[in-house]
Structure 1
């Protein structure tokens, strides 16, 4: 058998990425729900539908500072209204004059009623007096205190916020699976909701393995590699909405690795390891986690996936609590791509978040690129909207293993297993990275 035939046979033995992800995600369930105070709910995902308990606004109120009046009193032919001599710019050549019988602020609570030819000075948010159906903005008047001259007549209902105009009691505010954003917190608070039932943010522990690893703050030397992954993956987990904890470096020591993982199962909903997923003599993570020893660890299944970069991925559970564990490759580029492909969907499943995967678009490729046969490649790219609609996709330098390209990317270009060459001008799929700029 030729070398080419050997390579093709090896590729054919790889598990398709979609099949692998489906097998992993089917094993997961969202974390048990918690009833949280509204101030603590931000960043979590609702576990139940939420319905408004009160209307917004809760009462008829002024939308601006001005004068609350009856529209008929200030319109032509109104009741008991005083008119001043005609002035330039006034409607119908007349200036309407009303008596100001009181002031109402946002804290006013006693009900008051309008009488013909009268109005109340009101602040924005103040309850409207009975009989008022319009608020004249202060800039349309002479801002009088005992009486006011109205230089411009608004339409009926102007600057009035009616009870339930925005939200009626009983309205569905958000469905289960909705992310609790600051704006949603505001809506919930406005409708009288102080507690919500949410899925807690998963607690994710990140461990980097390898005798060669050294802490950041110095350059790599022969036989040493700076620990990039535990820092990068902890940041990625936090960006995905998890409560992320960096444990740091674990040497390739079987007992040390077992003990560390057992300790972390007490505080983790998910453990992410990086390094040691291959089949070489130094790949301790695979050798330790893929075999069961009593109830202490395992089993974690390591699978050769049709993915580039980083074909070797591991998933399973550890400890008596059966805490999920995701094992990613040691190369930083492959680890970050592996996080996007596998770890992020796992975090979203535990959090009860929908959708599980990043949003995607299709765009026009700006340059011709090649891709490994039989592997689904994820390559850093810059996505831009085109004038007139659609997107352009610019692959970034260095390919999927280059950290500089990943740092600049706002998308991951996806090339399918059957694609070996993507020509400039062709349409390609891109996952959008919603990183803040």
Structure 2
């Protein structure tokens, strides 16, 4: 399958996860399923914008009360009266303006000064009237969106939850600590995936290491997750069990191979109520598969769009392939993309120093390239 078609396929074939309504504080990273609206005005009442005196009428003013933030004035202000007031406190009805301390002269219970009418009073609803739409459907719930929801009076919000992703690392040749012996290699993909999954906006349920057997893989695919990601086992070798196991389980194969380098042997399948992303066992090839299929799948399940690719001119030597899209690790600065090198499928060094993967289509004209962002360095 063409690389661009594979990247966009999840949004045409995968439905978002069902809407849930968690407590607002538990919705971080989810996606708004309904518009976020203001349940109350902001400010909710007339408040002081400065420390000083709430006054009405002409100076001098008789100080009749003191109101701190969180307190309610005892009654309205009459002409020639003042109430000592704290920033953010509710001003009495009838307040015309707030005279800041630095502009006031007080003697006993009498205060004098000059302040323009209406100054330093934030009127109820002047920033946000009740019922205002604050954020549209599809907004990702960030810490500041949580703050906005709480300030708008929401104890719960309707969201599409973060997809749950289980990672399954296969490969009898892998070791996970120490220096590998003869015929063995260190696992690089297992340590990469938790941060990658979190960066994509999903919830990692765990990283499982399983042997290269069909039974082990079949058991791992039953993980309690919305997406099961396998590394290795996705090609056509004697130990590549994933295609056979998926066929035996009557999975629906949506993508079986992508015309790109590195990362050609990647797949996407629907298995019951979950999806399976099969990634190659080489680290850079696995990274390419993750940003090609896993990230768009996470976005589709979370009801978030695929972001359009930024573009850059290329500084340095990059060649295209006649049939395949190439994904090349690059540094990006001032609108220029520079290849970092060290980009063979089994080598993650170049990607570790890169800001993005340059998307070099077949027969590229040598001008600008699209940029797939990588987690920030």
TM-score, length-scaled by structure 2: 0.92
1:270-314, CA deviations, whole angstroms, 9 ceiling, x for partnerless residues?
10001022222222223332x22xxx4534466232111111111
Tell me if structure 2 keeps the 8 A contact 1:378–1:400. no
What's the offset of the Cα at 1:254? 1.4
Tell me if structure 2 keeps the 8 A contact 1:366–1:394. yes
- Counterpart of 1:157? 118
- Counterpart of 1:381? 330
Q: How does 1:205-354 map to 2 (within 5 A)?
A: 205-215=166-176, 217-262=177-222, 264=223, 267-289=224-246, 291-292=247-248, 296=249, 298-300=251-253, 303-318=256-271, 321-353=272-304
Q: Answer yes or no: is 1:356 the counterpart of 2:282.
A: no
3-state SS of 2:341 partner: coil
**What is the aligned length?**
376
What's the offset of the Cα at 1:123? 0.4
Instruction: Give distance in 2, aligned partners of 1:413 and 1:28.
Output: 26
Q: Answer yes or no: is 1:365 the counterpart of 2:306.
A: no
Instruction: Give distance in 2, aligned partners of 1:210 and 1:288.
Output: 16
Q: Answer yes or no: is 1:115 the counterpart of 2:73.
A: no
Larger radius of gyration: 1
1:415-434, CA deviations, whole angstroms, 9 ceiling, x for partnerless residues?
11112x73xxx43322334x
Which of 29, 32, 40 is equivalent to 2:15?
A: 29
3-state SS of 1:255 partner: helix
Instruction: Give distance in 1, aligned partners of 2:116 and 2:326.
Output: 61
Would the alpha carbon gap of residues 239 and 209 (structure 1) be closer, same or farther in structure 2, given more than 3 Å must change? same
Tell me if structure 2 keeps the 8 A contact 1:227–1:249. no
- Counterpart of 1:76? none
Q: Answer yes or no: is 1:430 the counterpart of 2:371.
A: yes
Tell me if structure 2 keeps the 8 A contact 1:286–1:302. no
3-state SS of 1:19 partner: helix
Would the alpha carbon gap of residues 380 and 168 (structure 1) be closer, same or farther in structure 2, given more than 3 Å must change? same
Q: Answer yes or no: is 1:417 the counterpart of 2:362.
A: yes
Instruction: Give distance in 2, aligned partners of 1:42 and 1:59.
Output: 29
Gaps of 5+ in 1: 1-14, 74-80, 82-96, 386-390
Instruction: Give distance in 2, aligned partners of 1:131 and 1:247.
Output: 63
Instruction: Give distance in 2, aligned partners of 1:56 and 1:183.
Output: 16
Tell me if structure 2 keeps the 8 A contact 1:276–1:284. yes
Instruction: Give distance in 1, aligned partners of 2:238 and 2:131.
Output: 63
Cα RMSD (Å): 2.2
TM-score, length-scaled by structure 1: 0.80
Would the alpha carbon gap of residues 429 and 116 (structure 1) be closer, same or farther in structure 2, given more than 3 Å must change? same
Would the alpha carbon gap of residues 144 and 383 (structure 1) be closer, same or farther in structure 2, given more than 3 Å must change? farther
Tell me if structure 2 keeps the 8 A contact 1:51–1:171. yes
Instruction: Give distance in 2, aligned partners of 1:246 and 1:227.
Output: 16
Would the alpha carbon gap of residues 432 and 157 (structure 1) be closer, same or farther in structure 2, given more than 3 Å must change? farther
Instruction: Give distance in 2, aligned partners of 1:363 and 1:256.
Output: 44
